[in-house]
Structure 1
């Protein structure tokens, strides 16, 4: 199979990244909406005061920005950035969480880059310590610029937040300092990927993995998006073996979307290194992750195998479908395709005619085209 066809197939099967806007114009100014509320805490005057304090600080900072205008939003459905403040008053602890943020369309140079951390921004601090406010404002400002791909400004604000977060003596973290550091470093790494500084990105993602490992974080819950970006950085600097080994560490996860990202990245690497059979296998596996109960997706997988020349694999797929869905009419269509590919035109005609009889409104044009081709000797 030709490289172009293989890559086109992979691109067509890539998931659609649903984001709220695009960022193509380098000179444009973007309004970034921010919603601040509490997720778990009971309403209280102290909590209201903290929310007002954060909103006021964000409004004040917005006046000095150039490409981004921050706007406080009252409806979370219309907010790009959602900040949750939860107060544990008895322990004098304020928890700050920022929902995962994905950049606008056109920001990431490759759809294989994971643009958001799978976990929220974690910070736990004393509400009486002003550092929580400075750190939170810095992260929101960083993320507002990250959304539009303004990485120089993003890195500056992330650096400021990192410096403030390093003041451990002034903050009460409840063991979350490592998670906070990893979060800030992750977006620094993505910005380096956006700027195509792949070696620096590789180094920073490696540092995050080391941070997780040294502090005993569960590999099945933490760092999978980091490993995928590490794999992409390794691939882009020419270290294919490390890229594939790193992707393999993510396989078998309990999270389907992570498995899908890993399969699609590995399929692209296989295709671009001329390992088309392996690329096809990952594409087929990705189809099953995307549509585990979709008969038409199963049909597509079997049909792709036939067209790719993997007739044994297609036969196995059809056999499994027959066991699970013995009355499914499209089985005759698939059997016809397989027989045609095997050179048994008589069997193919029989399957196609049977399919036409029991499912006249199905793949009518395709089946008739095959029948016409066989009967005319093509």
Structure 2
């Protein structure tokens, strides 16, 4: 009896993971089906807001603030692209915007107590968020420039390969049949909201599963390895890619950083790796939506993030000093800090209004 019980308890986490993954994939496909059904309405709405590539960047940036979830905005961007509502260049910029916005959300969370807090409390509450913001932008702003210029090549390569993987046309797609039935049953509007809710629920369930992991054991296992910048970068990348959760991977090391057990120079490579690994779930969405160009665009951004991060690690002593100096300067001067917070809203808003 005891053996059966232990076997059942060991299978329970596996079943929870499988159900969570199944719910996530169902939600992504439902989002795609609902977006297709809502194409006329969404087209009229987007034509008023997205008047160019850069307004698409600003819109996804601001949407990430509103939803406080970059992965959800990236998934929606891919869904809009699969319905031919946004161009490839706009998709690329919207995925980049989801990463830039997600980094700023961390700063906003830490700055909630700014009005009623002392300067020392402000530094403690925002220093990691500001560090994450600086690291993310130092990678994805150059990736934005290089990737945007390289988009014609990416599109030509992905376009040449779209005719290759069409061998399974005759096989029934049960998941598509199911999502189409849900859209017909509830209507495209409710199905769209249901898809959003299912994505959020699957992410919450996955975070709950990760919360049961023994983080203290992970800290003891990897604390010494964080002293090596390359190993630290690899751990951050693989841990985030495997868990598809930046909140979890950073949650493993944030307590150590806040308590002074890990120095800024030691945590920076880990955060750089996490910033690359976080695109893996976006790549999964692109694959689930069966968009070859979307897969190529996300893969290109992931590769650029990896290459730029490696280059920054090669010049790590200089890079860490520059980032540290900027972080200290912003936190030390109240005017700089207020100006920095205002820029987080004014820049994406300005991109939308251009």
The two structures share one fold, judged by TM-score above 0.5? no
TM-score relative to the length of structure 1: 0.23
TM-score relative to the length of structure 2: 0.24
Which structure dedicates a bigger proportion of its chain to strand?
Answer: 1
Pick 1 or 2: higher relative contact order, CA cutoff 8 A, min separation 6: 2
